[in-house]
Each structure stands twice: as C-alpha cells, then as structure tokens.
C-alpha cells in the first residue's frame, strides 16, 4: 500500500537504476596505460581528477588535459571517454518501464546523481533513450553533482536538491546504494532506502 506521506521518489543512478561495473573502467584505463588506475575508482565515489569532474571543480577539457599528461603520447580524448564510460554497463528496460509506471501512479520522480558530463551526455543519454524517450520523460526534475558543484554525501548537494526541485525531505523517499549517502540524507529528514547489491529498487517502494 502506498504511504500517503511519500509524494516524491528521489533516485540515485549507479547501482539503483543503472548497472555499473567498476572493474571494467579500471581495466580500460589500465589498457590505455594509466599508472595505478585502480587508485582512482572507489565503489561509491571517485578520487583525484575523477572526483573533480564529478563535483564540477574540473572541466571536461581540464580532465582530458590532465589525463593526456599521464597516458602514452597520442592518446585521444575519445579514447579517454570510451574508457571512462566502461563504468556503465546499461539500464535494464524493465527499470525504465517501472519508472513510467510509478509516475502513472501519481508519484513525482526525481534524480540525484554523482556523475560527470562525459557519461551524462554520452552513454547515460543513450541508455535512457533506448525506449524512444528522453530522461525528461522519466523524471520531474534532475540534479547532477557536476552541475550542483557538490557531490554526495556532502549535505550541500541535498540542500541544493531541495531548492532546485522544490521538494520537502519528509515527503521524499531517497534510493541509493551507498550507506554514506543514505545516512547523510536521513540526517536531513529524508526517508531513505539503501538498495543492496543484487536487489531491485522496487523491493524498497513504500
């Protein structure tokens, strides 16, 4: 039965809607010749220049330039982008169909993701378009870390999200696969659902 207090569903992307595989990305950068590629990628957050492009402190051009200095001479920006996007393995169509169903049931759906412009305008855009729709057809509003200039679990991005989307934490259920992120949201009054590996977000619906 629907919880009448929950009006908004706020979704993380990776590990909730989008399937991800960190090791694919690490291996792709290692093949390009990035020294110590493993050190840049965590399960729930990135490090160094990769965090910079997610929190908006580093531009795409700066990101490419920085990595070209570390990679073999002649490595192109498109090769860097392709390796980076190996993090994403896809969005199962049944999840997109579930998002459509939830909107038809009267929920307002929103997105809050730590992501970067390369993935956002690349593989993520194409994955959301595979049923002939756009991201805007699935969500009533979207917040990305690179646009907000902050990343989860920083409280700043949750405050930004409430202002930008016009939502109230107590009326919102936040889905994320990181305990650090759900704990930060809960401290600000959000209802939260920690989506465990191997489960579907539908198991945590009100």
Q: Which of 12, 55, 176, 177 is catalytic?
A: 12
Peptide bond into 153 cis (omega under 30): yes
Residue 12 a catalytic site member: yes
Residues 117, 6: Cα–Cα separation, whole Å: 31
Coil, strand or helix at 57: coil
CA angle 82, 85, 87 (to 5 degrees): 135
| H or E segment to which residue 38 belongs | none
Sequence length of the chain is: 206
Report in angstroms the alpha-carbon separations of 105 from 2, 166, 168: 10, 20, 20
Give the closest residue to 7 by CA, choosing from 158, 200, 202, 190: 190
Catalytic amino acids? 12
């Amino acid at each position: 039965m629907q919880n009448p207090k929950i009006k908004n569903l706020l979704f993380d992307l990776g590990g909730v809607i989008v399937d991800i595989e960190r090791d694919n990305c690490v291996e792709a950068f290692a093949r390009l010749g990035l020294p110590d590629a493993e050190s840049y990628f965590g399960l729930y957050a990135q490090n160094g220049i990769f965090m910079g492009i997610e929190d908006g402190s580093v531009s795409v051009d700066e990101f490419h330039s920085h990595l070209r200095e570390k990679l073999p001479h002649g490595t192109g920006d498109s090769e860097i982008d392709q390796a980076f996007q190996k993090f994403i393995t896809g969005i199962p169509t049944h999840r997109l169909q579930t998002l459509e169903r939830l909107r038809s049931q009267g929920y307002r759906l929103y997105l809050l993701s730590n992501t970067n412009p390369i993935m956002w305008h690349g593989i993520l855009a194409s994955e959301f378009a595979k049923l002939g729709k756009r991201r805007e057809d699935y969500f009533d509003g979207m917040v990305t870390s690179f646009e907000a200039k902050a990343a989860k679990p920083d409280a700043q991005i949750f405050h930004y999200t409430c202002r930008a989307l016009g939502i109230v934490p107590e009326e919102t259920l936040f889905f994320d696969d990181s305990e650090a992120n759900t704990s930060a949201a809960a401290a600000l009054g959000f209802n939260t659902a920690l989506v465990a590996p191997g489960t579907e977000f539908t198991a945590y619906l009100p």
